Structure 1
Amino acid sequence: MSDSLPDRARAPLADLRILAIEQFGAGPFGTLQLADLGAEVIKVEDPREGGDVSRYVPPFQEGEDSIFFESFNRNKKSISLDLRHPDGRAIFEDLVREVDVVFSNLRGDGPEKLGLTYATLGEVNPRVVCCSLSGFGMTGPRRSEGAYDYVIQGLAGWMSLTGGPDEPPMKSGLSLVDLAGGYVAAISMLGAVWRARRDGIGGDCDLSLFETALSLTTYVGTWSASRGYQLERLANSAHPSIVPFQVFSTRDGWLVIACAKEKFWQRLVAILKRPDLGERYPLFADRRDHRAEVQAELQAEFAKDDTAAWVAALREAGIPASAVNDVAAALADPQVQAREVIEELEHDTLGSVRHIGSPLRIEGGRVPAGRAPFRGEHTEQLLADLCGYDEEVVERLLAGGAVAGPAARPAAAVGQTPPAAE
């Protein structure tokens, strides 16, 4: 089977190979960052469970393909392998000998149970990095608990910080804990591989979504830990200490403005032709101490004109500001076209898929978007190329159920559910 992925010879991570036991969002998003930089990411998908569960996430899902899965798994390979099968475990260890990283996003007790830690795999490949991204880490009283982004947002205090003062606790609009956890995993893998190549010894990376979320409280977390600070939720997404740094309603919509420097405030009062505001509230502290008055004055001004007019005037003055876009409007911004952010490709069953390209831009190293793999698409290729198995051995393993090749195409009808685990 020929490799359908783009030529990665000059990509920054062309010499990095990762074996990933991953599903849904956080784990696949982490390895996606490395795949987009040229790493060979091999997804290990359990044939008994239909592979990565995100293959079946609606909407825009057909058979074992979904646009949700595409968005997290482009530029990867797939081997359909049963790690609990004796032959499957032997195959897995043969693959471990040829990779730099074994990555998983399971519960914290999962890597030890499945033999995915360095204590086990270091005997197979002393240079291998074993990276685990779990809800709570591989130690502590919560290690065996599962976790999802929304739950962690509540547990880590995020929901208490989000929304208006009279609204219920609110999650962020995106699964930011999962996505940040992916970035944390990507950085950790690169750091650990660098050390392994320098010192000749691998090791474990023990990462958690909970700690990732706590770390992202940054200054608010430090204020709380140091001084017992309790953040007050403010209307209109206002910043806790800088005024104005929030949204305002205009005559026809919404505007977001960020006067994060004193010079921006002075430019703003000039645009508004309200020098009195600059005189009454010249400093950050003055505006914070009189937040309600300042906001009321500004709201009255912004209500006098349309969003587009305000944005044009503010940008001309060099003040950070924007209309509050929906996602479609954001993707239509001229900057998106100028930077070729969107990459379009044709998928065998899903038709046209327009990917949001990687923000990781390294000169001469951008890997074009390639579709996500079909489950087991690369099974036979990997068994031959990495494990060195001949055709007879591959056929025996396929017949025995340790591995599976790709499902017959075209895919099944819309709405198919994954096969139940045995």
Structure 2
Amino acid sequence: MKPLNGIRIVSVEQFGAAPYGSMFLADLGAEVIKIENAAIGGDPARRTGPHLLGDEDSQYFQTWNANKRSLAIDLRTDEGKATLRKLVESSDALVNNLRGDLPVKMGLDYAGLRDVNPAIVCLHISAYGRDNERASWPGYDYLMQAESGLMDLTGEPDGPPSRLGAPSIIDHMTGITGALGLLAAILGARASGKGCDVDTCLFDVALHQLGYAAIWNLNEGHDVTRQPRSSHFSLTPVQTFPTADGWIFIMCMTDKFWQALLDGVEARELGDDPRFADAASRHANRQALNERLDAIFRGGTSAHWLAKLQGRLPIGPVLSVAEALRNPLLTRNGMISHVPHPARADFRMLANPLKIDGQRLTQKSCSALGQDNAAILQSLSQQEEALK
């Protein structure tokens, strides 16, 4: 089942944030028409290496654009503007991730399009928002991690600040945040007949990821700092531990799991030590506890401890990307999807993490640059004829 069948979304997008969010909507069944600038060869992500798929496509591009159609036009020309406005007549939403000052100038906001379609929802994803002194500033994911404080919280205490390891995590979170706001506004527009503008930006979303670290600071002046070995800010033991051949991560978030750990490693004497009697004591004496647990875990391999403790408490291996992608669980649960591409029949992607009625959402590669021009333009001509 594709629950968004019948919804049409036009997206003036490039690179990661808006494309990631609109890809989710496309996977869920929405018709997403990706507007690409014909004057510059489309989304620059099409030519981002190192792994290309022909002259006008890349694995980097396909990461964010599965299930979309491609319409290559130049929005700076009268013809391009007219085509976009015709599309808006029969669409539910228009998405853009342009610089914050550009949507109004290009007529891509609700005020500029409501005469064409009063129910249109316009989603704006920008670097810093459209209503402040930074509206015209360009910006990307890593800059937001830096200024939001996320980099300062990442890495070992005695090392330099680091970006989060996952590529483009703020882009992804911003895309999903925007998609959620967009769907809510579409529901509202279908009920009222009136559309609106929906805004989110990379900076706001990055800041929002601080979560309780921000709340503690705002209310208590509590400065959260980098923790050794990826430890939790207030609970122990919640961190990495070295084994005889690698690393594992253990998360004793409750006393129940602390007790399960003591039983599993056969170290009940640690529970009798007053330094580790409760959560606050364990956190206050984390270094001493680490020394005891490190000695235990170094006595066995990662596989040994996983076999002994998995299912009894939250524990997992620390894997490389290559190891993570070869985890047999991914095959069993369908998280690797085969998505044939004209340039590569055996092309694979990560499946959408959503399931509907227990089924993964189907995927197909994004159309080639401008591949859908003829079909879309013909449908617009027929739409225009029907209105005469």
Give the TM-score band, short-chain normalised.
over 0.9
Give CA-to-partner distance per residue, 1:85-144, whole Å, 9 cap, x none. Answer: 111111110011010000001111111111110011111100000100001111111111
- Tell me whether 344-353 or 295-304 shows the greater mean CA deviation: 344-353
Does the alignment pair 1:16 with 2:16? no
2:239–2:250 Cα contact (<8 Å) kept:
yes
Counterpart among 280, 295, 298 of residue 303 in structure 1? 298
SS in 2 for 1:308: helix
- Structure 1, gaps ≥5 residues long: 1-9, 391-422
Q: Is the 8 A contact 2:148 2:207 kept in 1?
A: yes
Equivalent position of 1:82 in the other structure: 74
1:255 aligns with 2:248: yes
Q: Which residue of 2 is the match for residue 65 of structure 1?
A: 57
Query: Do the aligned partners of 1:12 and 1:365 also contact (CA within 8 Å) in 2?
Result: no
SS in 1 for 2:232: coil
Structure 1 residue 166 displacement after superposition: 0.5
Q: 1:389 to 1:127 in 2, by over 3 A?
A: closer
How big is the shift at 1:369?
1.2
Q: Distance in 1 between matches of 2:361 and 2:310?
A: 33
1:148 equivalent in structure 2: 140
Q: Give secondary structure in 1 for the equivalent of 2:239.
A: strand
**Residue 329 (structure 1) aligns with:** 323
SS at match of 2:215: helix
Q: CA deviation at 1:387?
A: 4.0
Q: Do structure 1's residue 131 and structure 2's residue 126 form an aligned pair?
A: no
Q: Aligned partners of 2:309 and 2:359: how far apart in 1?
A: 36
Q: Deviations over 1:33-65 (max 9, x none)?
A: 101100000000011111001001112113111
Alignment-derived partner of residue 261 in structure 2: 268
Whole-angstrom CA distance in 1 between matches of 2:72 and 2:110: 23
The structure-2 alpha-carbon separation of the partners of 1:251 and 1:125, relative to structure 1 and needing over 3 Å to count, comes to same
Structure 2 portions without partners, runs of 5+: none
Deviation string 1:233-265 (CA, Å, 9 cap, x unpaired) is 121111111111111111111111111111111
Specify the code of the residue in structure 1 equivalent to 2:221.
Answer: G
What does residue 360 of structure 1 align with?
Answer: 354
Q: How does 1:172-191 map to 2 (within 5 A)?
A: 172-174=164-166, 175-191=168-184
Paired position in structure 1 for 2:313: 319
Q: What is the match of residue 87 of structure 2?
A: 95
Deviation per residue, 1:284-315 (Å, 9 max, x gap): 11111111111111111111111110111111
* Alpha-carbon shift at residue 365 of structure 1 (Å): 6.9
Measured after TM superposition, the shift of residue 333 of structure 1 is 2.1
Shift of 1:177: 0.6
Q: Tell me the CA shift for residue 366 of structure 1.
A: 4.6
CA distance in 2, matches of 1:341, 1:211: 30
Q: Distance in 1 between matches of 2:4 and 2:212?
A: 33
- The verdict on how the C-alpha distance between 1:384 and 1:367 changes in structure 2, with shifts beyond 3 A counting, is farther
Q: State the Cα distance separating 1:276 from its structure 2 match.
A: 1.8
The superposition leaves residues 364-410 of structure 1 with CA deviations (integer Å, 9 ceiling, x where unpaired) of 775411111101010110111134279xxxxxxxxxxxxxxxxxxxx
- What residue number does 2:27 align with? 36
Taking the aligned partners of 1:77 and 1:377, their CA distance within structure 2 comes to 8
- Between 179-188 and 362-371, report the one with greater CA deviation: 362-371
Counterpart amino acid of residue 53 in structure 1: P
CA RMSD of aligned residues (A): 1.5
Q: Separation in 2 of the partners of 1:164 and 1:360?
A: 34
Aligned equivalent of 1:416: none
Instruction: Output the TM-score relative to the length of structure 2.
Output: 0.95
CA contact (8 A) 2:351 2:360 kept: no
Q: 1: CA distance between counterparts of 2:149 and 2:320?
A: 26
**Mapped partners of 2:352, 2:381: distance in 1:** 31
Structure 1 residue 271, shift from structure 2 partner: 1.9
User: Does the Cα contact within 8 Å between 2:243 and 2:299 map onto a contact in 1?
Assistant: yes
Which amino acid is 1:339 matched to?
N
Contact 1:100/1:127 (<8 A) preserved: yes
1:287 corresponds in structure 2 to: 282
> Is 1:34–1:186's contact at 8 Å kept on the other side of the alignment?
yes
- State how far apart, in whole Å, the 2-side matches of 1:164 and 1:257 are: 18
Q: Which has the higher contact order (CA 8 A, sep 6+)?
A: 1
Letter in 2 for 1:139: D
3-state SS, counterpart of residue 80 of structure 2 = helix
2:99 pairs with 1:104: no
TM-score normalised by the chain length of structure 1: 0.88
Separation in 1, partners of 2:375, 2:148 = 43
Matched residue, 1:369: 363
- Letter matched to residue 287 of structure 2: A
Would you say 1:217 and 2:238 are equivalent positions? no
Residue 27 in 1 paired to residue 18 in 2? yes
AA aligned to 1:260 is: M
Deviations 1:192-217 (A, max 9, x none): 10000011100000111111111111
1:37·1:365 contact (CA, 8 Å) conserved in 2?
no
Q: Which amino acid aligns with 2:66?
A: R
State the 1:350 CA deviation.
3.6
Contact 1:256 1:322 (8 Å CA) reproduced: yes
Query: 2:248·2:302 contact (CA, 8 Å) conserved in 1?
Result: yes
- Shift in Å, 1:346: 2.3
Separation in structure 1 between the aligned mates of residue 10 and residue 23 of structure 2, nearest angstrom: 12
For 1:104 and 1:198, the matched residues in 2 are separated by: 24
Identity %: 38
- Name the amino acid aligned to 2:256: K
For 1:18, give the aligned amino acid: I
AA in 2 matched with 1:158:
L
Q: Take 2:339 and 2:211, find their aligned partners in 1: how far apart are those partners?
A: 39
